[in-house]
Amino acid sequence: MIAYNKTWLQNKFIQEHSFTALGEYYITQEEQAAIKIAYPAPFYTPNLFIRIGLFLLTGIIMIFTFGLLALICLNIIERAAGGLAVFFGMASFAILEYFIKIKKHFRSGVDDALCSLGAVSVFSGIFLPSNMNGLSICWVIFIITLFCSLRYADRLMASGCMLALLGIFFFTCTLIGGDFKAIVPFVIMVVSLIIYITSKILNDKTQFYTYGDCLQIIEIVSLISLYLAGNYGIVRELSNTMFDLRLAPAQSIPFGFVFWILTVALPLLYLALGAIKRDLVLLRVGLVLVAAIVFTVRYYHDILNIEVLVTIAGLVMIIFAWALTRYLRFPKHGFSSRERNTAYSQDKLSVESLALAETFSPQPALPPGTEFGGGSFGGGGASGDF
Amino acid sequence: MNVPLFSRLFEEGLITSASFEKIKTYPAKQLFSVHWEIRAILYLGILLLTGGLGVLVYKNIDSIGHQAILAIIATICAGSFYYCLKNKLPFSKENVRSPNAYFDYILLLACLSFIIFIGYFQYQYHIFGNRYGLATFFPMLLLFFCAYYFDHLAVLGLAITNLGAWLGITVTPLKLLEGNDFNSTNIIFTGILLGTGLIFAGQLSSKKNYKAHFKFTYSNFGMNVLFVSTLSGMFRFENAYMLWFLFVAGAGCFFYWYAKGEQSFYILLMSTLYVYIALTYVILKMLFDMNGVEMAAIYGAFIYFIVSGIGLVVFLMRTNKIFKNR
């Protein structure tokens, strides 16, 4: 099913593992070089920045090609738009196959762009001329993205496929109506949980190396959707608008307390499980979702002024980080606060310093011009439009 | 570590038994590092704390009083600088690693609170009178000094943004366009001077081998400022746009050479895109300046984008091959 050369993908997987082993000083440089020769993977995979550039340029080329096609068919565009988009999408996939099979591209930016563009234009070709409801839209997205995920192992497509599947369950339940409407959150949660467990099990089995990246992204998305489906705020606002409950601002939904428990407990459960199982995905998603607890609680209960809350949160986080570093200064329970023993790239540092300069940048120091009326050019007036 | 995989590699004779024995012990003594998670929490915490405190002070300024606030800021500033001076590693012309994970952040806190202190002082008591430049000039000097003395890339970035602020322009990449009024001739020429100066400073750092690792930060800021200024010059002075295009193209050539020397794909990509914007502007202007051929000009523009896109793809792939793979 996969379009890329299977043996090379496997070799690439072996190369990456040997590279990690080299980075942590388990094997020697010579051994790594020997492995690389024994398991070659001569894909065309350029540097990340070149990949970004190729992605953008492929996008430009394809969009203007589509524009040119539309321009040529200008007289019949209203009737032919859908067919044109589907044709264009198919053509994108054909070009994609050429680049994969003949030019040996793999994650080069060209294949990423062609895959996304192909999927989007086939979808809009089907979607635009017709009058579809939510359920059939989800089915169309599901089929297209499932095909793309299986054939091109694209992470974006894999997450889109998973969300479309959830959408199918959501709209099916709401269409059946009655009691099914009330249990929609639980249906979504159960489906997310099943998806998470399945992808986790599949990912732990090494023969699925081809889809390792896709499975990992599905793990992350399913953990988040599992949480959001049980989040009080999401459930309340969504059921309020979708099912026309007409809730008063302070009014709760039926069985609101169940969702409050889920809102607070799930991220903590993720963190605990992540710590016990040494699972980075669980740990990181849990950390991010702790912020979601704070936002949800704060949104429905005016417990503190927002600035007091922010200050306290900042203080707690600093103290927490400091205490954890102190506690783990000498590794405990298999955890360590030290960096892993891998090659530390200068690039990382530079990027971090850029991010810092961006968040803390000062405004130009010129006077606002109101002080003595003489200021000839005021620096801060944003009007850079060209 | 994937033990079955390495046992296969061992059987094939690709790794020695010594290495394989080491790998087999891996799961037992594997340490789980939460280093980056802790750093992320710390960074977010500092952002939230400083942001929250800022708003708190702003809202309660009447009840707290200016002297009290100034005193608090000064205490934070002095305390942080004291910590940094006490814990720093000895100065060197080379790259000096920070003594611990907190040092970088505390130095940052010190520098930020110093900037806030001076700004507050100027706003409330007008210590520099109407010479507003001085209120950014002194923090800038201190920031440059700290960047070199404590060896801190982020503080260097801050110092450069302050240098820009002193000259009257915002220089951080994302705010370059929204923060500046590039219709002002003055800003365009200042930007060109500043950009050139920064690139020169970067070259000098590596030539003289004095904090050579600062080169990237200098060059990156310099590149963005220079390109955006020359591009705005091209849009602003429409009569002489070809002349400005030559400037942009010249800068592009310089950065191609630079990127090649540094093996920097980032610089290559950015300068290529900037030159592409300039080229697109010139071509489209030529096409649409022709009279009476509107439809042909539109077709021409579409074909230009397709052809130039393909050309650039080929260029990037070729250059990627020329640069050695890292």
Give residue A385's pLDDT: 31
Q: Give the pLDDT score at B173.
A: 60
Instruction: Report the pLDDT value the prediction gives residue A91, as an integer from 0 to 100.
Output: 95
Q: How far is B26 from chain A (nearest CA, A)?
A: 9
- The answer to whether residue B133 sits within a structural domain is yes
Instruction: Write down the pLDDT at residue A357.
Output: 57
The last residue of a domain, from among B282, B297, B318: B282
Same domain? For B160 and B77 the reply is: yes
**For residues A139-168, average pLDDT:** 95
pLDDT in tens, A261-280: 999 999 999 999 988 888 88
Does B270 or A80 have the greater pLDDT score?
B270
Does B178 lie in the same domain as B263? yes
pLDDT at B188: 86
Tokens 């394809």 belong to which residue? A62
Chain A hits for B51, Cβ within 8 Å? 310, 314
Same domain, B93 and B155: yes
Q: What interhelical angle do B215-236 and B185-207 show, nearest 10?
A: 150
Could you tell me if A59 and A109 are in contact, meaning their C-beta atoms sit under 8 angstroms apart?
Answer: no
Tell me whether residues A309 and B52 touch, CB distance under 8 A: yes
Say whether B35 and A340 touch across the interface (CB within 8 A): yes
Interface of B with A in 49-108 (CB under 8 A): 49-53, 55-56, 59, 101-102, 108
For residue A155, the model assigns a pLDDT of 92
B41 within a domain of the structure (yes/no): no
Least confident interval from A97-111, A152-166, A215-229, B89-103: B89-103
Query: In the prediction, which pLDDT does B187 show?
Result: 82
Asked which of B245, B264, B282 is the last residue of a domain, the reply is B282
Residues B112 and B157 in one domain: yes
In a domain, B321, yes or no: no
Instruction: Fill in the amino acid letter for B217.
Output: T
Q: Is residue B298, in this structure, part of any structural domain at all? A: no
**How many domains are contained in chain B?**
2
B43, part of any domain: no
Q: Do A380 and B179 touch (CB under 8 A)?
A: yes
Chain A residues with CB under 8 Å of B101 CB are 325, 337
Q: What is the pLDDT of residue B246?
A: 93
Domain end point (choices B267, B282, B297): B282
Q: Which residue of A has its CA nearest to B56?
A: A307
Note whether B180 contacts A384, CB cutoff 8 Å: yes
In this structure, the answer to whether residues B84 and B186 fall within a common structural domain is no
Are A314 and B46 an interchain contact pair (Cβ–Cβ within 8 Å)?
yes
Chain A contact for B178 (CB, 8 A cutoff): yes
Confidence of residue A30 (pLDDT cuts 50, 70, 90): confident
Q: Do A353 and B305 lie within an 8 Å CB cutoff? A: no
Tell me if B105 is assigned to some domain.
Answer: yes
User: Cβ–Cβ of B309/A64 closer than 8 Å?
Assistant: yes
Full pLDDT tens readout for chain B, 326 residues: 677 788 888 888 888 888 888 777 765 556 677 778 888 888 888 888 877 887 877 787 778 778 888 888 899 899 999 999 998 888 888 788 777 777 888 888 888 888 888 888 887 787 777 777 777 888 899 999 999 998 888 899 989 988 988 887 766 666 666 666 666 788 888 889 999 999 999 999 988 888 888 998 999 999 999 999 999 889 888 888 899 999 999 999 999 999 988 888 899 999 999 999 999 999 999 988 887 777 888 899 999 999 999 999 999 998 888 886 54
Tell me: do B108 and B141 sit in the same domain: yes
Per-residue pLDDT at A225? 95
| B115, B172, B306: residue with CB nearest A358 | B172
* A377 pLDDT higher than 60: no
Whether residue A211 is predicted with pLDDT greater than 70 in this model: the reply is yes
Indicate yes or no: CB of B326 within 8 angstroms of CB of A17. Answer: no
pLDDT band with cut points at 50, 70 and 90 for residue A358: low
- Write down the pLDDT at residue A362: 53
Q: What's the pLDDT tens digit per position in A294-317? A: 888 888 877 777 788 888 888 888
Q: Is residue B5 part of a domain?
A: no
pLDDT at B236: 85
Residue A341 has pLDDT above 60, yes or no: no
pLDDT exceeds cutoff 70 at A192: yes
Q: Cβ A379–B168 below 8 Å, yes or no?
A: yes
DSSP state of B128: T
List of chain A residues whose C-beta atoms are within 8 Å of the C-beta of residue B266: 49
Domain residues for the domain of B266 are 171-282
Based on the fold, state whether residues B186 and B147 are members of the same structural domain. no
Do B154 and B200 share a domain, yes or no? no
Residue B299 within a domain? no
Number of neighbouring beta carbons within 10 Å of residue B325: 9
Distances (CA, A) of A229 to A224, A248, A251, A256, A263: 9, 22, 20, 13, 9
pLDDT for res B29? 54
Question: Could you tell me if B158 and B216 lie in one domain?
Answer: no
| Chain A partners within 8 Å of B36 (Cβ) | 339
CB pairs under 8 A between A and B: 280
Identify whether the C-beta of residue B7 lies closer than 8 Å to the C-beta of residue B21. Answer: no
Is residue B137 domain-shared with residue B185, that is, in the same domain? no
On whether both B153 and B177 belong to a single domain, the answer is no
State the Cα–Cα distance between residues B52 and A311, nearest whole angstrom: 5
Quick check: B169 and A31 CB within 8 A? no
A contacts of B9 (beta carbons < 8 Å): 14, 18, 35
* pLDDT band at residue A187 under the 50/70/90 scheme: very high
Residues of chain B neighbouring A307 (CB-CB closer than 8 A) = 52, 55-56, 59
Q: Say what the pLDDT of residue A373 is.
A: 31
